[in-house]
Structure 1
Amino acid sequence: MVPPLSALSHLAVRWLHVFGMAVTVGGALFAWSLLRDDTPSTTALVVATAYERLFWGAMGLLVMTGVGNLGALTPSVPGGTWGTALSAKLLLVALLLLGSLVRSLLVVDARRRPDAETVGTAALRVGYAATALVLGVVVVFAEVLAHG
């Protein structure tokens, strides 16, 4: 039997993991939906900047709790197709982080430009759509890993 405090900590870690994913996916979809052509660039950049801060904080939370969740399985981490799915998920997360770094730098660059009021938001819209799409695939891998 699992001690109550241990069970509570496992539940808290898993809840934080799901919360972090909800912030990253929901925030990307929200930013994407607000970055329409008729949205003023200054408003779009404020939304983008806020999301970038939330995204990186939530990704840090996801990495920490993901390692904690994986550590709870050790030393019995399965191999085979489960191990392959885990490797694919981790590779996808690494690519997501790399792409997100580019997206964040685009936001920083757009905010620093003297013509920030008129800067186009099409690249950011594509970036947030891609972020939401990749995160959706990561969620599918997470479901496969959690439930087989």
Structure 2
Amino acid sequence: MVLSTYAAVRTLHVLAVSLLVGGSAVLWLGLRVGTARLPVRLLSWFEAVFWGGLGIVVFTGLGNLVAFGIPPVDSHRGIVLTAKFVAVLGLAVFALVRAAAVIELQRAGNGAVGGRRLRLLYAATAWLSTAAVLLAGVLARG
């Protein structure tokens, strides 16, 4: 069986997006349960995986964009693509704030953490990545 380059890039893109959405949602839900506390080591591990995954998503997404062509900005697809870029940029900004918070928690020597602010950062990541996925679905189907 021969796997085309397109199929390989598309598969890698979808797997990385699944990791971003699923991982963020699981950690957000884990922090929502009562007075839940998650190990800082787990959060640090996820940060490394998240940023690697986001890099894969961005580069494979740009590859897909080049392969299919950039739609005119004033078209329906162009507007959706712009909204998707804004969602991904917002995702990266919230993820930077979240990563800085996790780094500070790790430097402080905390073993396990919880709290409303951390929960909201993971919620924002999960919802923004979900928004980007929904916009991708609209973009793919015209």
Distance 2:53 2:126 in 1: 14
AA in 1 matched with 2:122: Y
Pairwise CA RMSD = 2.0
Gaps of at least 5 residues in structure 1 are none
For the Cα contact (< 8 Å) 2:44–2:102, is it kept in 1? yes
For the Cα contact (< 8 Å) 1:28–1:132, is it kept in 2? yes
Aligned length: 139
Question: 1:130 Cα shift?
Answer: 1.1
TM-score for the superposition, normalised by structure 2: 0.88
Of stretches 45-54 and 23-32 in structure 1, the one that deviates more from structure 2 is 45-54
Distance 1:140 1:16 in 2: 18
TM-score for the superposition, normalised by structure 1: 0.85
Who wins on radius of gyration, i.e. which is larger?
Answer: 1
User: In the alignment, which residue of structure 2 is the partner of 1:39?
Assistant: 36
User: In the alignment, which residue of structure 2 is the partner of 1:78?
Assistant: 71
Distance 2:55 2:79 in 1: 23
Distance 1:118 1:32 in 2: 15
Q: 1:46 to 1:39 in 2, by over 3 A?
A: farther
Distance 2:53 2:112 in 1: 30
Q: Percent identity?
A: 36
Question: 1:92 Cα shift?
Answer: 1.4
1:129 matched to 2:126: no
